[in-house]
A = this chain, B = another copy of it.
Amino acid sequence: MVISTSRGGSAFLLAQLGAHAATRFGERVAELDLTLPQTGLLRAVATEPGRSQQALAGRLGMPASRLVALVDGLAERGLLERRRNPDDRRLHALHLTATGEEMYGRIAEAARAHENDLLEGLDDAERGVLQSLLGRIAERQGMTPGVHPGYKRA
């Protein structure tokens, strides 16, 4: 019945591998002087520019007070900027700067290298099967695409 008791079930394996993958990716972006939450924010702003901080906080699942510190750090480094909205001067629309776009390109490259390193040992067909299975689970579990809950912590 049980295929591999020594390594645990698929659920445990999934959690274990997920934590491992997140840690490894964190090491890669650390070479760009970025933390995991910072990377998640940059990704969110890159895919949906112009959103307010409150909207992003809700989407990333973190309190707005925490997002302020994140934005501060990235804005000081010139990676993203707050733009006042003339229509509603309460909110700050977030956009990537040119430097931020360039940095996002490096992040994407790191993600590709990370993925290739993680899936080493699987051929193309197997990678396709894995992607399909994981995608179906994610959809069934109702997960928000592109948002990593663990990126809430440093």
Instruction: Assess whether A18 is in contact with B22, with CB atoms less than 8 Å apart.
Output: yes
Given A10-B119, A118-B141, A120-B140: A134 and B17 interface contact (C-beta under 8 Å): yes
B residues in contact with A20, CB < 8 Å: 141, 143, 149
Instruction: Answer whether residue A15 sits at the interface, using C-beta atoms and an 8 A cutoff.
Output: yes
B residues in contact with A109, CB < 8 Å: none
Which of B25, B137, B153 sits near A121, CB closer than 8 Å? B137
A14-49: which residues lie under 8 A (CB-CB) from chain B? Answer: 14-23, 25
A117-154: which residues lie under 8 A (CB-CB) from chain B? Answer: 118-122, 126-141, 143, 145-150, 153
Given A14-B14, A127-B10, A131-B10: A119 and B148 interface contact (C-beta under 8 Å): no
Given A128-B3, A140-B121, A149-B16: A134 and B10 interface contact (C-beta under 8 Å): yes
Secondary structure at the A interface, as helix, strand, loop or mixed, is helix
Instruction: Assess whether A22 is in contact with B21, with CB atoms less than 8 Å apart.
Output: no
Interface residue range, chain A: 35 or more
B residues in contact with A69, CB < 8 Å: none
A147 vs B17: C-alpha distance when bound (angstroms)? 10
Instruction: Answer whether residue A72 sits at the interface, using C-beta atoms and an 8 A cutoff.
Output: no
Instruction: Answer whether residue A66 sits at the interface, using C-beta atoms and an 8 A cutoff.
Output: no
Given A9-B111, A10-B130, A119-B11: A16 and B137 interface contact (C-beta under 8 Å): no
Q: Can you list 9 A-B contacts with CB-CB less than 8 angstroms, sorted by A residue number?
A: A4-B131, A11-B119, A12-B146, A15-B21, A16-B143, A16-B148, A119-B137, A121-B137, A129-B129
